[in-house]
């Protein structure tokens, strides 16, 4: 899994691989762990590139929680800067 660009300004890209058609949910949390954005994306088998709009976020530090349909969860820190 690759999350870029960091810092982000308008969009955040996520490259990930799926072994079968599935889905993934993405939550953006502020520094106090409040959910400020929630997205659901379908995945195809193989490589997937997902585009997430972060233009609504203020400049600052956020956490991105990525959860697969199987319940596997990863959390990454991002910066939004314009």
pLDDT tens digits for 2-53?
999 999 999 999 999 999 999 999 999 999 999 999 999 999 999 999 999 9
Integer Cα distance of 30 and 37 in angstroms? 9
* CB 80, CB 56: distance < 8 Å: no
Domain CATH number, residue 65: 2.60.40.2550
Range of the domain at 27: 2-80
Residue 11 zone, left/alpha/beta (φ > 0; ψ -120 to 50; rest): beta
Split into its structural domains, the chain has a count of 1
The confidence score (pLDDT) of residue 62 equals: 98
Query: Which pTM was predicted?
Result: 0.92
């Amino acid at each position: 899994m690759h999350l870029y660009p960091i810092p982000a300004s308008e969009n955040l890209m996520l490259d990930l691989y799926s072994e079968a058609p599935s889905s993934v949910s993405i939550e953006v949390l502020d520094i106090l762990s409040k959910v400020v954005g929630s997205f659901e994306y379908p995945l195809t088998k193989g490589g997937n590139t997902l585009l997430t709009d972060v233009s609504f976020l203020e400049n600052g530090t956020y956490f991105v929680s990525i959860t697969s349909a199987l319940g596997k969860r990863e959390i990454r820190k991002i910066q939004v800067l314009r």
